[in-house]
């Protein structure tokens, strides 16, 4: 199986929307339930464009046979006080998990981040999502705390961990503000 990683462009909107709907259907680890995603194709194109225009954001896809099977989105802060920080969302179709695709997406993210002002990467993960936690820890993330009763899934409270990764930059903080 040949996996291609690439920065997504507006022409990828239809594939990204299809992937997001499929992830919503097959995983209870994504935020949205299957019937909640209301994005139109035009809205997804605009979202991809907004990522491309931001110096502190990127959207990377993983494809097999020209079909997206996973993605990682990194949305950087938009004001001076948080522009060094970026929030991550990652989703990989179940049949492709555990095959190194997540690690590949994080390596692409790390390579991109070296040329940005991003110092802090952050995400949340459900405390019982052991596969994702293993991926994040393997890629340098640490648990910062627990967000108790963060979500309701199937009528049950679910806790999430706050996780972050601090990227070492050679610039001094004065140079970044």
pLDDT tens for each residue of 118-163: 999 999 999 999 999 999 999 999 999 999 999 999 999 999 999 9
Question: Residue 175: what pLDDT?
Answer: 55
Question: Residue 39: what pLDDT?
Answer: 81
pTM score over 0.85: yes
Does the domain formed by 3-176 have CATH 3.40.630.30? yes
Give 104's pLDDT tier (boundaries 50, 70, 90).
very high
d(Cα 88, Cα 109) in Å, to the nearest integer? 10
Question: Residue 170: what pLDDT?
Answer: 61
DSSP states along the chain: --EEEEE--GGGHHHHHHHHHHHHHH-SSSSS-TTT----HHHHHHHHHHHHH-TT-EEEEEEETTEEEEEEEEEE-SSTTTTTEEEEEEEE-GGGTTSSHHHHHHHHHHHHHTTSS--EEEEEEETT-HHHHHHHHHTT-EEEEEEEEEEEETTEEEEEEEEEEEPP-SS-HHHH-
Question: Residue 78: what pLDDT?
Answer: 87
Question: Residue 60: what pLDDT?
Answer: 98
pLDDT tens for each residue of 31-76: 877 887 778 889 999 999 999 999 999 999 999 999 999 999 999 9
Inform me whether the pLDDT recorded for 176 exceeds 60: no
Inform me whether the pLDDT recorded for 171 exceeds 60: no
Q: Are strands 120-126 and 85-92 parallel, antiparallel or unpaired?
A: parallel
């Amino acid at each position: 199986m040949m996996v291609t990683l690439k920065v997504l462009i507006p022409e990828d909107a239809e594939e990204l929307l299809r992937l997001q709907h499929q992830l919503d259907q097959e995983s209870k680890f994504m935020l949205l339930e299957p019937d909640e995603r209301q994005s139109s194709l035009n809205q997804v194109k605009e979202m991809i464009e907004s990522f491309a225009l931001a110096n502190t954001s990127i959207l990377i896809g993983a494809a097999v046979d020209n079909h997206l099977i996973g993605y990682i989105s990194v949305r950087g802060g938009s004001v001076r006080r948080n522009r060094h920080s970026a929030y991550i969302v990652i989703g990989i179709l179940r049949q492709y998990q555990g095959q190194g695709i997540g690690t590949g997406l994080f390596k692409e993210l790390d390579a991109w981040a070296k040329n940005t002002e991003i110092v802090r990467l952050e995400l949340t993960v459900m405390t019982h999502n052991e596969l994702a936690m293993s991926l994040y820890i393997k890629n340098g993330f640490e648990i910062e705390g627990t967000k108790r009763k963060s979500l309701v899934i199937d009528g049950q409270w679910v806790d999430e961990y706050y996780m972050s990764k601090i990227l070492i930059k050679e610039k001094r903080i004065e140079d970044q503000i």
